[in-house]
Amino acid sequence: MDTIKHYSNFPATGVSLRQMVQFGQNVSTGTLFRASQFLSEELPIRLAHRVQELGDLPDGLNEMPSIRRVQDWYAQSFEEIVQLPKPSLSAEVKERLSKANNRHGRQSRILSEATPNPSVEPGQYDSTGYKKSDKPTEKESDKENVNGGSGGDMKVAAAKRYYSMADDNGDWPPELNAFNNDFSKLLEKIKRRHDPVVTTVAQGILEYKRKRQRMQIDHSIQAFLDRFYMSRIGIRMLIGQHIALTDQRTHSDPNYVGIICTRTNVRDLAQEAIENARFVCEDHYGLFDAPKVRLVCDPNLNFMYVPGHLSHMLFETLKNSLRAVVETHGSEKEEFPVTDVIVSEGREDITIKVSDEGGGIPRSSIPLVWTYMYTTVDQTPSIDPDFNKSDFKAPMAGFGYGLPISRLYARYFGGDLKMISMEGLNLAARAMKLKLKTKGLDQGLRQREVSERRQVGDAESVVNSQSGRAGEPWWRNVTMEEGV
């Protein structure tokens, strides 16, 4: 635990979507090894933050069996990465790795300062847990810098960037490729281990509520869960991207850079989510035919996004909507009101509205919808200790996690998820807004960059996006310097 505590004193390093896309366009043994080195140093820091935070939870929450189980998973993953043997490299190879590839005629720029997002409170998703007013003073910060803490100038940040092309003029020793494969296999193992984190933490909160005999959780625990799950999204983004890039060297898709799809088709994902949500609804309520869903969307609407994130948001939102319709009108009803999914493309964003006749909710209850463990289900289901499913395979209802987690996925790239209710008319609408910026054209195809709000894993920084020079590839026009 002393090693974990030591690592938790270091700050997380921001990785931008721009860096991910640039890096993924030119994957080689050398550049992949540079990324492996970065992640082997960065992931233990982020995992250590989570171990410490889980151990410091207030009011006995940290003593719940499920919370301790999750803490053990993070500690085990931390230990496995730290203890992974590093390859022995010659001085010549080390020099080549440290020498940036300047093939484009310019060095990697120093990270720009982030612009605050007005929709996010200062420090709301900061991995340190500080609010702006609680952050250390300048003198305290200097002390942290001496001890390798959260200080440092911009040059230090630039030296530790994820996107750093190596000198690929020549062959690399087999030790590098072996390490890349071993590291990727380790990340796959860690990813599988952490699949049930969301549901296991939910079980821990349920244990806490039962022991304390409380109906709802307080603000501090709500803030912790927001911070914890947002960080988890970032960690899994880094891990998933690296695994995909390793696999991409053997079988690549021209529309994908790792797990980032440069031509994500909204209609296809929405149609798939509709079918899945209707199937789950039929299975859960024993229906012959679930409420029908009408989709209005341009079939040619493509943009750059992570399809897994959008699929999760659409599925959870539709599942929530269909459940409201069935329980309002009764499962014995032969024909239900149609639920509408309307996708609107704007100049700066895409809005997806899911509207239903599911009864609506009182205005005073809308904030509770975004509270973890708030649910209208009479009995919250228990989870088997050996449950091993990811958050993408949640039950129809019962934990009150679907909408809060979906809102975090939306906010991850600067969007949002909101609910509007018309109780008297039995109407409810869930509006999902994906913040986008129209970028340049590449071979006549429209591309969009995602307006990034923060760094991967620690939503504490925001980015500016500016248009690039005409004639450059679309990914070169993405000037987001810090913050997925």
Active-site annotation, residues: 312, 316, 319-320
C-alpha 47/C-alpha 35 separation (Å) is 17
* The three-state (H, E, C) secondary structure of the chain, written as one string: CHHHHHHHCCCCCCCCHHHHHHHHHCCCHHHHHHHHHHHHHHHHHHHHHHHHHHHCCCCCHHHCHHHHHHHHHHHHHHHHHHCCCCCCCCHHHHHHHHCECCCCCCCCCCCCCCCCCCCCCCCCECCCCCCHHHCCCHHHHHHHHHCCCCCCCHHHHHHCCCCCCECCCCCCCHHHHHHHHHHHHHHHHHHHHCCCHHHHHHHHHHHHHHHHCCCCCCHHHHHHHHHHHHHHHHHHHHHHHHHHHHHHCCCCCCCEECCEEEEEEHHHHHHHHHHHHHHHHHHHHCCCCCCCEEEECCCCCEEEECHHHHHHHHHHHHHHHHHHHHHHHCCCCCCCCCEEEEEEECCCEEEEEEEECCCCCCHHHHHHHCCCCCCCCCCCCCCCCCCCCCHHHCCCCCCCCHHHHHHHHHHHCCCEEEEEEEHHHCEEEEEEEEEEEEEEEECCEEEEEECCCCECCEECCCCCCCCCCCCCCHHHCCCCCCCC
> Residue 396: which residues within 8 A CB-CB, separation 6 or more?
280, 281, 283, 284, 319, 323
Residue type, position 343, single letter: V
C-alpha 39/C-alpha 27 separation (Å) is 16
C-alpha 302/C-alpha 351 separation (Å) is 13
